[in-house]
Amino acid sequence: MTARCETFFVATCAIVACLALPSCGNQNLWNRDFGQAPATTVTAPRVTGYWEGQVTMGEVRAKIEPQSITLALKCDKAGKILSQGSAPIVFNTDNPVRMTLVEDLSSGKDEKCGFRFFKGNEFRYRLRENGVLELDFAGSAVAEFKKLSD
């Protein structure tokens, strides 16, 4: 019985720890604290990492990984209405450089506000010398992003 209790305790602790870590779950990007440190400088033409910018609908954060993109939109000034979605991408490095969605990217049908991009939509991007990322959301909006973290 003691070994079972110990196993249960260890498993419970592991689950609680995983839920507390942002890398273990699909945590909303707006719940992630990047601290007061100055923005990460971009020294190479890499666009992977965490980014923050502004679009017409509100503030947006992006997590760009080699094979996926996650977008989180703040839909009101108070930051109480949030929407988030994620989808796999493929990077195309021929001119113009772009990320192409492999699946639909949407914030979900139950969201009060949100976004929807379709499989095959292209997000063209340009990384300027000052480290600002210009991202074109499939021709619907162009936003400037500052890098928050790798």
- What is the tally of structural domains in the chain? 1
Asked if residue 18 is part of any domain, the answer here is no
**Sign, Cα dihedral of 51, 53, 56, 59:** positive
SS3 75: coil
What CATH number did the domain enclosing 44 receive? 2.40.128
Q: Is 113 exposed, middle or buried (0-12, 13-18, 19+ CB in 10 A)?
A: middle
Indicate the pLDDT class of residue 36, thresholds 50, 70 and 90. low
Asked if residue 19 is part of any domain, the answer here is no
Domain containing 96: what range? 29-149
Report long-range pairs for 44-47 (Cβ below 8 Å, ≥24 apart).
Answer: 45/127, 46/127, 47/125, 47/127, 47/133
Residue 18 neighbours by CB under 8 Å, 6+ apart: 24, 25
Flag whether pLDDT at 107 surpasses 60.
Answer: yes
Asked if residue 103 is part of any domain, the answer here is yes
Give the pLDDT confidence of 77-103 residue by residue, as tens digits. 777 788 999 999 999 988 999 999 999
Asked if residue 39 is part of any domain, the answer here is yes
The residues with which 136 forms a beta bridge, in sequence order, are 124, 142
Asked if residue 95 is part of any domain, the answer here is yes
Asked if residue 4 is part of any domain, the answer here is no
Give the pLDDT confidence of 44-56 residue by residue, as tens digits. 448 999 999 998 8
